[in-house]
Structure formats: structure tokens, C-alpha cells
Structure 1
Amino acid sequence: MKKSQKTPEQMMMLGLGWWNLYFIIKLALFSQGTIGFHPIENFAFVIYLLIPLRHKLLTLIRAIAAFPIAFYLGHYDSFLPPLNRLWGQMSGLMDFQLSYLLELASRFVSLQDLLAIAVLIFAYYFLNRIFRVSIFVIAAMIYFSLPKPSPQQAVVPIAAAPALVRLLRASCGQEPHEALFSDPPSQQCYLFDNLAKLGYGENLMLNHNGSFDNFTGLLKNEGHLQAPVMSKEGLSPYQAAFDGSDIYRDKDILNRWLTNREKDPQEKVVALYNTISLHDGNRIIKNSGETGMVSYKRRLKNLLDDLYTFFDTLKKSERNIVVVLVPEHGAGMRGDRMQISGMREIPAATIVHTPVAMKIFGPNMKRTGETYHVKAPSSYLAISTLVSRLLEQDIYAKGTFDPKALSEALPKTKMVAQNSGSTVLEYNNKPYVSLDDQTWQEYPQ
């Protein structure tokens, strides 16, 4: 007996098939607040999947085309940056080691996620034999599509920003990101240039090779820092970076600089030290299997131990030295709904809100008053002002300093952070993000 063929209406009633899992997972993530949900686009995809096709070739073509559509729609529903941001960073990603790329992939989908998906597939296989699951899925999509209050949005002026070039141009405060790669409005913007005019020599130390993304070239061309990088010859690497290059222990670099400084005939110098000991993707060479939070905790402890030991050495050296600690950005180890753990492409408030500290060393220096905490929002211009006050008050000639007199009433800077193609700022005590410098939305918390 010849098997009867199903009519188009019957074929449509068969439902979404295994695509039900796609929408079930998406609705589950939406209910948890992990992603968003665009009703029109998702229902258009449902209709695309349900339209009956008589020809097997057309059915095959539709099935193949459905996968890139589903991928794009899934990204569109997420809070992740636009795909063109990823393509724009592709050349940098190609420098990452394979092990680091696999680690990043695991942050998108963990082992627990894979197990949950496996259980869902198993449950769907049996439930679909009893119930018409597509009806429940479409009903759930309709429910989640019902109008709900939308978050407040605002249109605000574009502002500037969390990098090292900004520190070298601190005397002119916040500049737009694009302006950092052109001449500043005044030559007085360059912090180290201003100190050089007062007789300070320049030192530059890195605990890495400075090659990635033309780092040393950026310091020279855009920050006017002309000092050669201190040699690391003879030192043993302590970590391997995400691109496999060597990273050296902070205490080794700092101690070598201090040794060189004691032999340096220059009366006074301003030294810049850049460390990437806490960068995401680093591996401690002796513990190459440790990744993620485990590696970060160990590397953080080592960095703090090295700094504590170095400060103790400075104290015993009886030299007049001022140390300013300026983190470039936070590690973003927790991640958020727009970025996975370790990703810092969008300068969220939790990433750019970092502590800055100053410590003054000297053999006979006396501090009057307690440690002063600047609680007002501040940024690079405040650092430049603080350095200026140190010189104006001539603390080493006086042999005493008052932390409050140095630090109170520093220039305030509202929370504004900018990277290439993205800006984050606070408005009415809420963070807002723009990815095109025109439209704004509340940053997903």
C-alpha cells in the first residue's frame, strides 16, 4: 500500500521539531535576564521554519540557511557587542594562543551548560512523543512578548575615557578616544614633558615586550615618552601572556630599576612602570594548568607581595621617592550580560572604577594628619594636579606633608569611559552605553 502524503496544513501542524529546543533555551535565558528577546524577529523565524514546502531540495536549503539565521538572531537577542566589533578585533585575536581561545570559549558555554542542554534534549525527545511541544513553545513566546515597561533611556553628550596614553596626557584631562591618536590641544598636556622641563629625566620599565598592538610605539608617538625601555636581559620569565610572549616578575623589574637608579648620575627622574601581571589569559609558567579565577588569585597575591617587598626596600633605601599606583582597568572577572568574564571591550562602570593610591617615601619625612581618602569621582586630571601640588608645596625641602592639604578639592570628573566604538557614562545614577555614538540604552545590570 502506498504511504499517504501529508498536506501542507498537516506538515505545518508537525511543528518546529528540534528547533523547539532553540526557542526553549532562549526563553529560559530570557526569563533569567541573561539575554533579551525581540518578538517580531523571533516570530518571523518561527514562520520561516513552519512554512510548508513540497520540494525536498527547498526543504534542505531552508534547513541549512536556518543555522546562520539562528546564530545571528541569538546574538541579536543577547547583550553582547555587535558582531562587527568582533571582526574589527580579529587581527588581535589571531595572536592569542589556542589554549586561551579555548578558555574564552568555555566562558560562553560551561560544562554545566552542556550537561543541562543534554538533559533538555533527552527530556524533549520523550515529551514530544506525548505532547505537541511546539504549541507550548509558541504560547510561551506570545506570553513573553506581551508589552512590559521599557527602561528609561536618555540622550547625553559624548564624553571621554580607563588607558596609559591618557595618563601621559593627564594635564589636559579627559579627551575623546579618537583624539588620543592626534596632537593634543596644547603641548602642556604631556605630563612627562612638563616634568622634563623641570629637570626630571625619564625612565621606562615594562615587564613584557611591549609589542602587542604596538604598545611601545603608542607611548612614544601619542604620549611623548621618549625614554628607552629598560633591559630585561638575564631575567627569567615568570608568566606567559595570551600570545605566548614572556612576562617577568614585578619584583625583578623593580629591583633592577632601583639598582640602576643608584648608579644613575641624574639628580631626579620620573619613571613609568607598566605591568601586565594581572592580564586575562596569562599563565604562570610553573603552574601552566591553572586558568581563570585560580590563576588570577595567585597572580594577584604575587603582585601585591612584590609591591609590599619593594616598598619596604624603598623605605630602607632612604631615598626621596613618591610612588603613584594607577590601575589601567579592572579585570572584569565576574563578567556581565554584555561581556563574558575577562572581556573588557566595553568599558563598564565595574571595570573602570579602580583605586588610585600615592605613597611618599623619605628618610626624615613626617606626615601630619591621617591618610586621606578622595571620595569624589576623579580621573587623570586629578593625578596631574596632585603631582603639581607635590612640587608646589616642596615637601622634601620642608620635611613634612599633609595628605589632606595635598588631596582635597582635586578636580572632579564624572564617570565617563570610552573605548573604540563604545561609550559608558552615568546619568541619573544609572549607567548608559552607546555603541554607535548616537543611540543610548541603559547598561544591562
Structure 2
Amino acid sequence: MKASQPSAPRLRVWQSWRGLGAWNYYFLLKFVLLWQGYLNFDALSNLIFAAVLLFPLPSLRVHRWRQWIALPFGLALLYHDTWLPGWRSIVSQGADVTGFSMGYLLELADRFINWQWIGVGFALLVGYLFVSQWIRLTTFTVAALLWVNLSFLVTPFFASKPVTAAVQPTVTAQPVAASGTDNKVNGPPTDANLSAYLEQFYQNESRRTVRFPDALPADAQPFDLLVINICSLAWADLDAVNLSTSPLWSRFDYVFSNFNSATAYSGPASIRLLRASCGQPSHHNLYQSAGQQCYLFDDLARLGFTSQLAMDHTGEFGNYIGNLRDDADMKSPLMSQAGLGHELTSFDGSPIFNDGQLFTRWLENQEKAGTARTATFFNLIPLHDGNRYVGSNKSADYRSRATTLLNNLNTFMDQLEKSGRKVMLVVVPEHGAALVGDKMQISGLRDIPSPGITHIPVGVKFFGMQAPHSASPMKIDAPSSYLAIAEMVSRAVDGKVFTSPSMDWKTFSANLPQTPLVSENENAVVMEYQGKVYIRLNGGGWVPYPS
């Protein structure tokens, strides 16, 4: 009878350490991305995840099960650590995405593939497989995770105490001050201070308003106000396609060189523009009712201006026209688009009508109307990402579309000059196209309102004046936003600038309202504080915007 074989000694829990194995590569890749500024690294969550993977399990089978079960959690944590849109943003934009054409969806998917980083990932994988033959990498991974967590904890611990924002009592709205930068928060950029600064900004803005006169004087001169709101046009886009020095910009009387659109999406941008008579509200309050004095076109309507609405698209995508009706109080009927040609098709398959023909139709309508006071809101989208020429499935080249649009505007300005009509033209893009991506977003993605997207060119031009124009446009370099436009309109509302034999261009634009850089989408806030830009995603903590 054979003697029974002695059983293998049973390992105790604290003797069952097995290391991170292939998860070392996962963390190595994250460290490299963090070092390059491509991650919004959640240090504590990653440390906890590593602890779960390291917790000793005597059973080798259970340990292997854990490795596989951890995969979806690891992928979710990786997504959480990226700058990609959060689930709230995906849900909120989901209905719009379903309207994209299949070709545009495939094009967007291709942009998410960064072949350079795929190559880096492969090189890191080879390096990991080679080094792991001789070195126990788990020790270095855990040490790095502990160091990152401690660095995040120690830095705020030694920072100065948060500065409490001085909350001023609510006061009756007064004529707008030149500057909106009287914020009392000026301590180090801690989470508390940055949040306090943002809250103080909103409080300051809630008290700012542009006062239009109760009535026009008897000698007021009728004129047309024409506001052209262009989708996807920022200084960064113009620089990318070498159009920032286009002759068009030299034709304006005023050019705002430091204007912030305050958002990266069309609906909110147009609503903010049409509510320009009051200070900048938060994204949430943008969709709450505002005082009647906040709606720029309502202010003008009370002074006898007839409101008009014109677009080169249907306005159906994203319920754009519905948002104008509900949240910007734009009740005017849409100018007829019947008979207009179209060379471009939108990213959702709908037609984009010829802007040159649209401008000509508007001018013909104005000439038929005579000298009545009008205020017209134009919205143009030929530069939107994913637009394509009729008959093509490929996105049209941005530069060619931008050149066509600028040429159409240039021709329209020629027509206005020849017509002799008194017109105040204000060109205000909605936001940029994000032609050049950054470490946070790929090209074309605008979930985060980065400065490159919200820094837009704004021009103001007067036609039909008796006074001579300056040889070159006057640049307004102060940080500005929509309140400055409303103020400029209010200064011209009596129309006397058109009949005066002389014009003091500098005095007319003096002491315009200034607005610090604060931009928002639904789940992201980007803000300048003490000369540096910070970002907060999904209500989390503030981090420096990666450069």
C-alpha cells in the first residue's frame, strides 16, 4: 500500500502576493499620458483600483477571474481619466448625434484614432515585455501611484487658506460700468478660491445691464441693424487656414481682438448674443427666464425697430430655431428661403442655402420697405464641421468654404455701400470650428469651450454715414463679450452717427464693458484666473488647462 503524497502547503492570505502582472503596462501607459498632459488623472481612484488588483487571494483561479473581471472597470477608469466627454454630455447630445450622416460619423470616428500614440503604445508594450523579464515592475508602479497621490495631497495642504468671496448686496441695476473685473477673490488658485471667483463673477454679471433710452428723440434717424451670427469661425481657425489677414477685416470700423463667445455650441451662443443687454449668466441660467430688458431685439422693438430673422439653413437640427423662440424671445418669422440655391449640404443632410443670394434677398426686401427701422438676426452655418458639397460624401475643405463666405461678406459690404442705406453691421461668430485640436480635444470636438474655440473675431461697420471712415479699423483689445455689443448698439440707436458730419471713433468706443474670460458648456467651465486658464469638468475639481 502506497503512502499518501503530502498535500501542498496551503498559502495564507498575506503570503499570496502576486503583483499587478500585465496591469503594470496599463498604469505605465497612463503615467506617460499624464506626463504629456493628455489625462485628467484621478489619482485616488487609480490607487484604489491598483489596491483591488493587488489584494492577495490564495486561490490562483480566483486571482485569474479577478484579472478578467477588472477589465471593464479598468477601461471605464481610463475613459474617466481622459478629457473625453462625460456620460452626461453624451446623453444630452445623443439625440443630436443620431441626426449626423453616416459619412460624418465615420469621419469623426477616424479622428479619434491617433496613430502616433498607437505607435507610442506599441513601443511601450515592447519595452514593458522586455524589462519585465528581469525587473519586478509592480514595486515601481505602486511607488509612482503613491507619489502622485501624495503630490496631489501635499500641494493644497501647503497652499494659503481659501479666500472667501465678498458677497455684495443686491442693488438696482445701474448704467453699465466699463469693467466687470471687480472680483474680490485674488488668492492662490485653490479649488475653493477658483469656485469662489466663478460665483463672484456670476454675481457681478447679474447686476450689469445696458440701458436703452425709453424713447428716441424727435430728430432720431432710422437705420438698419444687421447682426450676422456665423457658426464655427474663431481666430485660431483663421490662423490655421491663413485667412486672419483677409482684406475683409480691414473694412470694419471696429474689430474686437479679444472677444469671448462664452460657449462652444451654437444654441447657447446665439441665445447669449440675443440676450446681450444683460451680463453673462451661467449656462444653467441661460435657459431660465430673464428680465425683458435683457433681450437685445426686444429693447430695439420698444424703440420702433422691426425684428427680422434670416438663416441659411432650416434651423431644425438640435431644435435651434425653437431655442431662439423659447430662450431668446426671437418671435420674428423666418425670411423666405424659397428659390435660394445651395451648393453645400449640412452634416445632417439638410441643405445650406447660398449666403450671397440670401444677403441680396435681404437687401432687396429692405429697399422695398423704405426707411423703416429694422433689426435683423442672421445665422449662417457653411463653416460647420462635416458640411460637404452637394454630390460628395466627403467633408468640404474648410479653407475653401471660409474663403467663399468671406468673399460673400465682402461683396455684400460692396452692395451696402452702393445702396446708400444707413446700416450698422455687426459680425459675431457663434464659436470656433476647433480646426486645430489640443491635448484635451480632437479636431472638431467642442465639448470643452477652450480659449482657442471661444476667441472669436467680431467686427462692426457703419454704412451710409456722412462722416469719413478711418483709414484702418480701430482695434478693441480689452477682454470683451456680448455686453459690449449691446452697449455699442445703444450708443448708435438714435441714428445720429449716420448724419453727423464728423465722427470721433475713439470716443464712441471708449469705456465699453469688459468681461473676464469665463466660458461654459453644459458640463465644462473654462476660466482665466490670474493670467492662467483653468478648467472644471462635470462639477469636479479645478485643474490647469493643459498647454
Where on the TM-score scale, by shorter chain, does this alignment land: which range? 0.7 to 0.9
Pick one of 312, 322, 328 that aligns with 1:217.
Answer: 322
Matched, 1:248 2:353: yes
Amino acid at match of 1:89: Q
SS of 1:112's partner is helix
Aligned equivalents of 1:59, 1:90: Cα separation in 2 = 38
Matched, 1:344 2:450: no
What are the within-5 Å matches in structure 2 for residues 344-383 of structure 1? 344-362=446-464, 364-367=466-469, 371-383=473-485
Q: Aligned-pair distance for 1:377?
A: 1.6
Matched, 1:194 2:299: yes
1:210-260 deviations in Å (ceiling 9; x for gaps): 012211122122222222112222233332323222222322322222233
Structure 2 equivalent of residue 178 of structure 1: 284
Matched, 1:87 2:85: no
Amino acid at match of 2:362: W
Q: Aligned-pair distance for 1:368?
A: 5.7
Structure 2 equivalent of residue 402 of structure 1: 504
SS of 1:424's partner is strand
Structure 1 equivalent of residue 389 of structure 2: 284
Aligned equivalents of 1:309, 1:281: Cα separation in 2 = 26
Which has the higher mean CA deviation after the structures are superposed, 134-143 or 84-93? 134-143
What TM-score, normalized by structure 1, do the two folds share? 0.85
What are the within-5 Å matches in structure 2 for residues 7-406 of structure 1? 12-13=17-18, 15-50=19-54, 51-52=56-57, 54=59, 56=61, 58-59=62-63, 61-122=65-126, 124-125=128-129, 128=132, 134=138, 137-138=141-142, 141=145, 147=151, 150=155, 152-153=189-190, 154=193, 155-158=196-199, 159=202, 161-162=262-263, 163-185=269-291, 187-265=292-370, 267-285=372-390, 288-290=393-395, 295-362=397-464, 364-367=466-469, 371-392=473-494, 394-406=496-508
Which structure exhibits the higher relative contact order, with contacts defined as CA atoms closer than 8 Å and separated by 6 or more residues?
Answer: 2
1:84-143 deviations in Å (ceiling 9; x for gaps): 332332222222233333333333332333344344445555555565555555565566
Let me know the Cα RMSD of the aligned residues: 3.2
Aligned equivalents of 1:55, 1:135: Cα separation in 2 = 21
Query: Any conservation in 2 of the 1:79–1:444 contact (CA below 8 Å)?
Result: no
Aligned equivalents of 1:184, 1:157: Cα separation in 2 = 20
Which has the higher mean CA deviation after the structures are superposed, 422-431 or 377-386? 422-431
Aligned equivalents of 1:251, 1:369: Cα separation in 2 = 27
Q: Aligned-pair distance for 1:70?
A: 1.0
SS of 1:355's partner is strand
Query: Percent identity at matched positions?
Result: 38
Query: Any conservation in 2 of the 1:325–1:357 contact (CA below 8 Å)?
Result: yes
SS of 2:442's partner is coil
Change (3 A) 1:410 1:287: same
Give the number of the structure whose residues are more often helix, by fraction: 1
Q: Aligned-pair distance for 1:369?
A: 7.4
Query: Any conservation in 1 of the 2:465–2:497 contact (CA below 8 Å)?
Result: no
What TM-score, normalized by structure 2, do the two folds share? 0.71
Q: Aligned-pair distance for 1:169?
A: 1.7
Change (3 A) 1:122 1:203: same
Query: Which consecutive residues of structure 1, in runs of 5 or more, have no partner in the other structure?
Result: none
Aligned equivalents of 1:7, 1:93: Cα separation in 2 = 56
Q: Aligned-pair distance for 1:64?
A: 3.7
Which has the higher mean CA deviation after the structures are superposed, 73-82 or 247-256? 73-82
Aligned equivalents of 1:268, 1:141: Cα separation in 2 = 66
Aligned equivalents of 1:139, 1:432: Cα separation in 2 = 28
Change (3 A) 1:142 1:102: farther
Q: Aligned-pair distance for 1:206?
A: 0.9
1:145-180 deviations in Å (ceiling 9; x for gaps): 663774832232433754111221211232233333
Query: Any conservation in 2 of the 1:374–1:408 contact (CA below 8 Å)?
Result: no
Query: Any conservation in 2 of the 1:332–1:343 contact (CA below 8 Å)?
Result: yes
Query: Any conservation in 1 of the 2:343–2:352 contact (CA below 8 Å)?
Result: yes
Aligned equivalents of 1:393, 1:404: Cα separation in 2 = 18
Amino acid at match of 2:435: M
Query: Which consecutive residues of structure 2, in runs of 5 or more, have no partner in the other structure?
Result: 157-188, 206-261, 264-268
Amino acid at match of 2:499: A
Change (3 A) 1:254 1:60: farther
Change (3 A) 1:169 1:307: same
Change (3 A) 1:42 1:7: farther
Query: Any conservation in 2 of the 1:368–1:401 contact (CA below 8 Å)?
Result: no
Query: Any conservation in 2 of the 1:386–1:410 contact (CA below 8 Å)?
Result: yes
Change (3 A) 1:299 1:7: farther
Aligned equivalents of 1:351, 1:380: Cα separation in 2 = 16
Amino acid at match of 1:218: N
Amino acid at match of 1:345: D
Change (3 A) 1:241 1:130: farther
Amino acid at match of 2:334: V
Query: Any conservation in 2 of the 1:347–1:424 contact (CA below 8 Å)?
Result: yes
Aligned equivalents of 1:317, 1:85: Cα separation in 2 = 47
Which has the higher mean CA deviation after the structures are superposed, 89-98 or 353-362? 89-98
Q: Aligned-pair distance for 1:188?
A: 2.3
Aligned equivalents of 1:127, 1:7: Cα separation in 2 = 31
Which has the higher mean CA deviation after the structures are superposed, 195-204 or 393-402? 393-402
